[in-house]
Amino acid sequence: MKPPSLNAYYSGGHWTKRKKAKDANLAHITKHFEDYDAFTAEQFEIHLRYNGRYDCDNTIVAVKFLSDAIVALGYVKDDNKKHFPRLSIVYDETLGHDTYAATIVFHNATTE
C-alpha cells in the first residue's frame, strides 16, 4: 500500500482525513503480522527501501505508520528513542514503481 507523502499528509485537509489514512495503513500493516507468534522486543529498527516519486524525507510517513503499528500491536513498549534507535531510508530503483519494502529488526525479543 502506497503511503501518503509527508507533504500531502500535513498540507491541509481535516484531521479526520489524516486519521482515516492512518487507520487504513494500520489495518494493512496488521495483516502482515497475523502469521507471527506473539512476542515482545526491547528495541527495533526499520530499514525502508522505496521506488517512487517522493523525496526521501517525504517517505517518513510510511515509517511513522509502521512504527505506530508495531507499538499498537504490542511488539514493543514505545517508539521513542530508547526503543527505536535506528532508521534508514534508501531510494532503490531496482524495486517496482511505487513499491515500499520495509525490513524490521527486533532486538532482545521474547515470546509470550
Cell numbers standing for residue 80? 521513542
20 has a pLDDT exceeding 70: yes
Hunting for cell 482515516 — which residue is that?
A: 20
- Which residue, chain included where needed, has cell 507468534? 37
pLDDT tens across 77-95, in order?
Answer: 999 999 999 999 999 999 9
- Check if the beta carbon of residue 52 is closer than 8 Å to that of residue 100: yes
Distance (Å, rounded) from C-alpha 33 to C-alpha 61?
19
33-74 pLDDT, tens digit per residue, is 898 888 999 999 999 999 999 889 888 888 999 999 999 999
Domains of the chain: 6-111 (3.30.1330)
Closest CA to 72 of 108, 110, 26: 26
5 pLDDT exceeds 90? no
Task: Confirm if 48 and 102 have CB atoms less than 8 A apart.
Answer: yes
Instruction: Report pTM.
Output: 0.83
